[in-house]
Amino acid sequence: MITKSKIIDVLLYASLLIFIVFAVFILCINQDVLYTAHERSEFLIGAHFFYDLMAKPFGLFQYIGGWLSQFLYNPVVGSCMLLGIWGLIYIVGGKAFKLKGSATAVMLLPIAFLLTSLVDLGYWIYDFTVRGYWFSQSVAYLVMLLLLWVARCTPRRWHLVWYVIGLGLYPFFGWFAMLFVICLILTEKPTWSEIIGIVLLVFTAIIWRALLYSDVKMEEVVMAGLPRFVTPSDQNDILSIPFWLVGVVSILIVLAGKYLANKFVPVVCAIAGIIFTISFMYRDNNYTAEMRMMRSAEADKWGEVLDIFTESQKPTISMVMLKNLALMNEGGILDRSFKMGNDINGIYNPDSVHVSFLEIASPVTYYNYGMFNEGFRLNFECGEQTGFSPIYLKMLSRCAFANGELEVVDRFVKLLHGHPYYRDWQPAPVAENVKELHNSYKDELTGVENSDSYVINSISCWYDSDSKVASEQALFFSMLRCDSRRFWASLKHYINLHQGEEFPVHAQEAYIMYYDKSPEEKKMRLPVSQDIYDNYNKFWATLESLIKSGMSQKEIPDKMRDEFGGTYWYYNIFAKKIAR
Amino acid sequence: MNRYSQLSVLFSAVAVMLLSSCVHNPDVPVSSTEVQNTPDIFPDYCDVTVPCNIAPLNFMLSSEVYSACVARVSTPGGEQRIYGKGVKVQIPEEEWHSMLEVSKGKSLRVEVWGEKDGLWLAFSPFEIHVAEEPIDEYLSYRLIEPSYIVYGYMEIDQRNLTSFEERQVFNNKVACDSPKGQCINCHSYQNYKTDNMMFHARGTAGGTIIVNDGKLKKVDLKRDYTISSGVYPAWHPTAKLIAFSTNKTAQVFHTVNPNKTEVFDSASDLILYDVETDCVSVICSDQELLEVYPTWSPDGKSLYYCKSVPLPEDMRDKDIRTTFQKLQYNLFRRSFDLATRSFGEEELVYDAAMANKSVSLPRVSPDGSYILFAEGQYGCFHIWHHDADIVCITLGEEMPLRLDLSKMNSAGFSDSYPSWSSNGHWIMVASRRDDGNYSRVYLSHFKNGKVGKAFLLPQEDPEHNIYRLKSYNRPEFMVEPVEISVNEFSKVFPK
C-alpha cells in the first residue's frame, strides 16, 4: 500500500525531475545563445580590469561572473556549471530558509527566475553592458543563501552582528546584501537591536557611497548588482523582473515557510517555474540563425553559413550580408544570391532594443570585404560600449593583422590568451579574396554613415578596380542598390575582366531589365539566354495582368514569389532593400 | 580539535600563504650564460635618466620567450638588492626610493638574468641614471579609448608620479542622467597648481567647469560673437584669465590610410575669458585663417598660438575633405599687456610651412628659453599622424636653434602633446610608439638643451601598459593633487 509520505516523496522527486529535464532542455535549445554570451562577455586579464570592477559595488561578483562566463565558449560545460550552481542554490536555499520535505521545492522558483534571466534577453545580448551577467546573479544569490544559512545557525543574539556584516558586505554583494539582511530580520520578530539593523540597512547605500563610491551615481549604488537594461536609446524594465522576483520570492519564503509543507507545492512550483520561463524566453529562428551564421563566418566556414541561411524564411540584414559574404568566398554570387534571397525583414530586429547589422555582423563583414580601417573602427566603437569581449578582440586582431599593425595585434592577442579557450589563438592568415578587395579600396574620408548602407554604397564604388573579385562585388552591390548608373559602369568593367567566362544569371537578369528600363544611354550589347529573356517578358506580363485584375500591392509580391522570387526583377521591384 | 580551533588553523595557513606570496627576494642564478647585449625589457628602461623621486621602474621580460627573470640593482655605494617573480621585476616603493636617494646625480646599475628553456642567460648590465632634479609630483590625464565617434566611460585621472596611486578627478557618468554620459575634456591648470583649474563637459547639461581659488562654477563660454564655446584652454600664469581657441571641428575617417582618423577645423579663433567677470573678448578672428592652441609664456607677457597658412588660391573654396592635407600651421605670438588686457601685433615665431610641415600644441619652457611643439606634415591634430614628432626650438634668438630630440621621439609613430615640468627639467609627451594606436605617457630628462632617452610612465605591474585599453590623453603636470572630489564636481551640474 502506498503511504502518504511516499506520495509526498514521489510528487517531490517527480516535480524535481521534470524541472531538471526542463532546465536542461531550455539550456540545450539555447546553446547558440550561450556561445554568443561568451563572445559578448568582457573579461580581461590584468589587475586593472579587476580594480575597475571593484571600484563599483557588486564588482567582485561581476568579476567572478565574467570569469565563469568564459566557459560558455563550450556551452555544454557552461550549462553544467550553471546547473551545478542552481543545484547548490536548491540545497543551500533549503537549509537557509529551513525548508523541509515538499517545501524545499519552492526553491525551484528562484532557480526558474535565474534560468529565465539567461534566455529572455533576445537582442539585448548584443547591446547590454552588465559585466559578468551570465553567472554573477546566480553565484551572488548562492553566496547570500550560504551566509543566511550560517547566520541562522548562530544564536539569536548574534543577529545584530550579522546585520553589521551585511552592511560590511554591501560593496561585494550589492542588492543581495540588502536581501540577506531583510531575510534575516524577517526570520524572527524584530527586537530593538534588530530595528537598529533595519535603520542601518536604510542608510547602507548612502554610507558606502560616501565612503567608497562618490564617483558613482546614487541610484547605481542603491541597487548595485541588480541588472538594468538601458542603452542611450532604449530601456527595458521587463528584463529586470526575474531578479526582482528572486528577491520577492526569497522574502515570501521566509514569511510563509511554514505554510509550504503541502504535497502539491512541488508540482505547483515546478509548473509555475516552467510556465514563467517559457513565457519570458525569447524565441525567434532568425535570432539563433544569426548567431550560428556569425560563428561559422568567424571560422571562415562559408558552406555552413549558406546552409543556415537556406533554412530561413525571412532573413535579417545580418543574415543577407553574411550569406553574400559566403557566396563571395564559395563562388557564384551573381548566379545564386537573388535565388537565395536578398529581401530583408526590416532594418532592426523585432525586440525592444535597436540592434541591427552594425552590432551583430558588421565586424566580420567589414573585415572580409577588406575594409580594415572601418572594421577596426566599428569593433572599437562596439567594444567601447559593451566591453572588449572575445568577439571584438578577435576581430580587432584580425583587422590589425591584415593592416600590418603587428604591435597592436600583440596587445589584443595577449588579452585573448588569458581566456581559457583562446590560449593559442592567433589571427588567421588573410584570405586572398580579402587582400584583393583591400587593395582595390581607395583611400577616402568618410564621416558617420549608417553602416548598413555604407558597406553597400562603398563596395558598389569599386567598379574601376582591376581586381576580378572587386569587379564582381561592385557589379553585385550596384544591383543590390538598384543603381543603374553604377550598374553600367560596373558591368563594363566586369565584362572586360571576366572575358571568356559565362555571363552570370543574375547579371543577365539585371542587364535585360536596365537595358529595357533605365534611361542611361551608354548601353552595351551582350548575349542573353533566351530562357531568361522569355522569363523576363513573362514577369512583366504577369505583373501587368495582376495589376489589371485589381490585386492589391501587398498581394502581388506574394502571388509572384513562387515563380519569380529568385529573379533579380522580383528583388528590384518588390523586395525590401538594405540600402539605396 | 574543535570547530573554532580548526578555523583558526585554516586562517593561519591562509595568512601564511598570502604573506609568503607577497615577499619574494630571489637569488641570482648560480650559473648562467653571458649574452652580449642588454635585455629586451618592457618597458625599455635601459640607460634612461629618471627623476630622483619617480615611482619604481618595474619591468618584465617577454613571457613568451622567458620563464623567469631576476634583476640585481646596485647603488653607487655598493648596496645590492635582488628582485624578480616570474618574468616580472617589481620593486617595493620604499626600497626603490631609498636607492634613488643615495644615487642622486649618479647611476643605478641593473643586472638582469632571464631563464629560457631551463637555462639562465646573463645580459649585459645597464644603468639607470638618477637626475638630481625631481619631477612634479602629480600628473593628470583623460583616459579614453583611442576611438572615433562613440564614447563610453571616460575619466580624468590624477596619478602620483612618486608612487602608483591613481585617483579619479571626474568621470562622464556621475553627473549625467542620460545613459550616453558626457564627453569630458581639456583639463587645464594655472601654473601647475589645482586651486585654479578647469575642464569641459560636453553634452547633457554641459559647460566649462572652472575652479576659481577652490570654488566651483560651471559656465557657458559661447557668445553671439564667437564661433563656439571655449575649446583648447591656456590659463594665464598669474591672472584669472584663460585664453581659449573656439573651433568648428570635424572628425573623419580614412578608409585605407594608416593614420585612420583626421580631425580638422573649418573655423577657429582665439578668445580671452575673464574668470572673475565672466567676460569673453576676442583675441583674433581671422576670417580666412585658423588660429588654435593658445599657450602663455611663463611671464604672461606673450601668447603663443598656431595659425594656418593660406591655402593655394585654387583650393580655397574647396571642401576641406579634399584640402586637409594642404592645411599647415605656423607658430605665432602676440605680446600681452596685463594692465590693459590688450594684445600686440602678430609675430611669426616659427615658419613650419616653409619646410612643408605643420605645428601644433606649443608649450614654452618655465624659464622662457625654449618652446616645444608637435610637428607633422599637415593639420593640427597630430596624435593620429604617424609622422608627428616633438620639436624644441630656442626662443629669444634671431635664428631659433632646433634641439636634438632624437632620443625622445619615436620613429614612425605619433609623438604629440608635449609639456614641461614646473622646473623645466622634464618633458612629457603622449606617444603612440608602443603600437600605433594607444597613447602612453613618456618622460624625458632635459638639461642645458640636452634631451635624454624617453621612458614610459612606470606602472606597478608592467603589464598594465599592455592590458589597459585606454589612451592617456592630454597629460598635464601638476605640483599638487586636485582635492575636489568627483562628487563635489558633480554638484555643479543641475539634477
Test B253 with A49 for CB contact under 8 angstroms: no
Chain A hits for B438, CB-CB cut-off 8 Å, are 408, 411
Q: Based on C-alpha coordinates, what's the Rg of chain A?
A: 29
The mean pLDDT of A526-550, rounded to a whole number, is 93
Q: Domain check: are A396 and A435 in the same one?
A: yes
Test B148 with A371 for CB contact under 8 angstroms: no
Q: Domain boundary at A249, A283, A317, which?
A: A283
- Write b or e for each residue in A446-467: b if 16 or more Cβ atoms lie within 10 A of its Cβ, otherwise e: beeeebbbbbbbbbbbbbebeb
For residue B443, the model assigns a pLDDT of 98
pLDDT tens readout for residues A99-156: 988 999 999 999 999 999 999 999 999 988 889 999 999 999 999 999 999 999 998 8
> HEC profile for B126-186?
EEEEECCCCCCCEEEEEEECCCCCCCCCCEEEEEECCCCCEEEEEECCCCCCCCCCCEEEE
Q: Domain check: are A233 and A312 in the same one?
A: no
Residue B274 domain-assigned (yes or no) = yes
Residue B16 domain-assigned (yes or no) = no
Q: Domain check: are B77 and B143 in the same one?
A: no
Residue B223 domain-assigned (yes or no) = no
Q: Which of A214, A231, A384 sits opposite B145 (nearest CB)?
A: A384
Q: Domain check: are A255 and A307 in the same one?
A: no
Q: Domain boundary at B130, B163, B183, which?
A: B130
Q: Which of B179, B460, B463 sits opposite A230 (nearest CB)?
A: B179
Q: What pTM was estimated for this model as a whole?
A: 0.91
Count the Cβ atoms, other than its own, within 10 Å of residue B279: 12
Test A46 with B168 for CB contact under 8 angstroms: no
Q: Domain check: are B80 and B98 in the same one?
A: yes
All three cell numbers of B72: 640585481
For residue A352, the model assigns a pLDDT of 79
Mutate to test the interface with B, among A372, A373, A440, A451 (most CBs of B within 10 A): A373
Smallest Cα–Cα separation from B402: which of B454, B364, B449?
Answer: B449
Q: Domain check: are A239 and A273 in the same one?
A: yes
Q: Which of B168, B469, B487 sits opposite A388 (nearest CB)?
A: B469
For residue B418, the model assigns a pLDDT of 98
> In this structure, are residues A110 and A254 in contact, taking their beta carbons and an 8 Å threshold?
no
Residue B115 domain-assigned (yes or no) = yes
For residue A452, the model assigns a pLDDT of 64
For residue A450, the model assigns a pLDDT of 55
Test B174 with A458 for CB contact under 8 angstroms: no
In chain B, the number of structural domains is 2
Residue of chain B with shortest Cα separation from A366: B255
Q: Domain check: are B147 and B51 in the same one?
A: no
Given a cut of 60, is residue A27 above it in pLDDT?
Answer: yes
- Write b or e for each residue in A347-376: b if 16 or more Cβ atoms lie within 10 A of its Cβ, otherwise e: bebebebbbbbbbbbbbbbbbbbbbbbbbb
In the block, residue with C-alpha cell 619574494: B24
pLDDT tens readout for residues B186-211: 999 999 999 999 999 988 788 999 99
Q: Domain check: are B380 and B424 in the same one?
A: yes
Residue of chain A with shortest Cα separation from B487: A214
Domain that holds residue B76: 28-130
Given a cut of 70, is residue A579 above it in pLDDT?
Answer: no
Q: Domain boundary at A247, A266, A283, which?
A: A283
Q: Domain check: are B315 and B446 in the same one?
A: yes
Specify burial of residue A418 (Cβ count, 10 A radius: 0-12, 13-18, 19+).
middle
Q: Does A424 touch chain B (CB under 8 A)?
A: no
Size of interface A-B (CB pairs under 8 A): 116
Q: Domain check: are A271 and A350 in the same one?
A: no
Q: Domain check: are A18 and A134 in the same one?
A: yes
Q: Domain check: are A385 and A472 in the same one?
A: yes
Instruction: Measure the CA–CA gap between B385 and B325, rounded to whole angstroms.
Output: 11
Q: Does A168 touch chain B (CB under 8 A)?
A: no
Residue A318 domain-assigned (yes or no) = yes
SS3 B443: strand
All three cell numbers of B167: 585617483
Q: Domain check: are B366 and B242 in the same one?
A: yes
Q: Domain check: are A54 and A98 in the same one?
A: yes
For residue A166, the model assigns a pLDDT of 85
Q: Domain check: are B94 and B147 in the same one?
A: no
Q: Domain check: are A507 and A398 in the same one?
A: yes
Residue A579 domain-assigned (yes or no) = no
Specify burial of residue A423 (Cβ count, 10 A radius: 0-12, 13-18, 19+).
exposed
Instruction: Measure the CA–CA gap between A442 and A440, rounded to whole angstroms.
Output: 6
Q: Domain boundary at A256, A283, A310, which?
A: A283
Cis peptide leading into B43, omega within 30 of 0? yes
Q: Domain check: are B74 and B145 in the same one?
A: no
Domain that holds residue A140: 4-283
The mean pLDDT of A352-368, rounded to a whole number, is 87
> Higher confidence at residue A442 or residue B481?
B481
Q: Domain check: are B84 and B146 in the same one?
A: no
Count the Cβ atoms, other than its own, within 10 Å of residue B388: 29
Q: Which of B180, B321, B435 sits opposite A445 (nearest CB)?
A: B321
Q: Domain check: are A139 and A15 in the same one?
A: yes
Q: Domain check: are A153 and A255 in the same one?
A: yes
β-bridge pairing A235-236 and A229-230: antiparallel
Residue A429 domain-assigned (yes or no) = yes
Q: Domain check: are B374 and B251 in the same one?
A: yes
Q: Domain check: are B373 and B405 in the same one?
A: yes
In chain A, the number of structural domains is 2
CA triplet B392, B193, B135: central angle to 5 degrees?
A: 55
Residue A152 domain-assigned (yes or no) = yes
Chain A hits for B469, CB-CB cut-off 8 Å, are 44, 383, 388, 415
Q: Does A373 touch chain B (CB under 8 A)?
A: yes
Chain A hits for B467, CB-CB cut-off 8 Å, are 44-49, 414-415
Check which CATH number belongs to the domain holding B55 and give it: 2.60.40
Residue of chain B with shortest Cα separation from A217: B174
Residue of chain A with shortest Cα separation from B180: A232
Residue A339 domain-assigned (yes or no) = yes
Residue B215 domain-assigned (yes or no) = no
The amino acid sitting at A518 is: S
CA triplet B470, B475, B478: central angle to 5 degrees?
A: 135
Mutate to test the interface with A, among B255, B260, B386, B463 (most CBs of A within 10 A): B255
Test B435 with A380 for CB contact under 8 angstroms: no
The mean pLDDT of A284-311, rounded to a whole number, is 95
Residue B320 domain-assigned (yes or no) = yes
Residue B250 domain-assigned (yes or no) = yes
Given a cut of 70, is residue A330 above it in pLDDT?
Answer: yes
Check which CATH number belongs to the domain holding B277 and give it: 2.120.10
Q: Which of A214, A381, A408 sits opposite B487 (nearest CB)?
A: A214
Q: Domain check: are B305 and B424 in the same one?
A: yes
Q: Which of A380, A442, A448 sits opposite B256 (nearest CB)?
A: A442
> In this structure, are residues B436 and A407 in contact, taking their beta carbons and an 8 Å threshold?
yes
Which value does ipTM take for this structure? 0.89
For residue B24, the model assigns a pLDDT of 60
Q: Domain check: are A278 and A293 in the same one?
A: no
Chain B hits for A47, CB-CB cut-off 8 Å, are 460-461, 464, 467
Test B466 with A411 for CB contact under 8 angstroms: yes
Which backbone phi and psi does B439 adopt, to 5 degrees? -80, 135
Residue of chain A with shortest Cα separation from B151: A384
Mean pLDDT per 10-residue section of chain B, whose length is 495 residues:
40 48 72 95 97 98 96 96 96 97 97 96 98 98 83 91 96 78 90 96 89 96 94 97 95 89 93 96 93 97 97 85 92 97 96 96 97 97 95 92 96 96 98 95 97 97 92 97 94 84
Instruction: Measure the CA–CA gap between A93 and A142, rounded to whole angstroms.
Output: 8
Instruction: Measure the CA–CA gap between A319 and B136, rounded to whole angstroms.
Output: 56
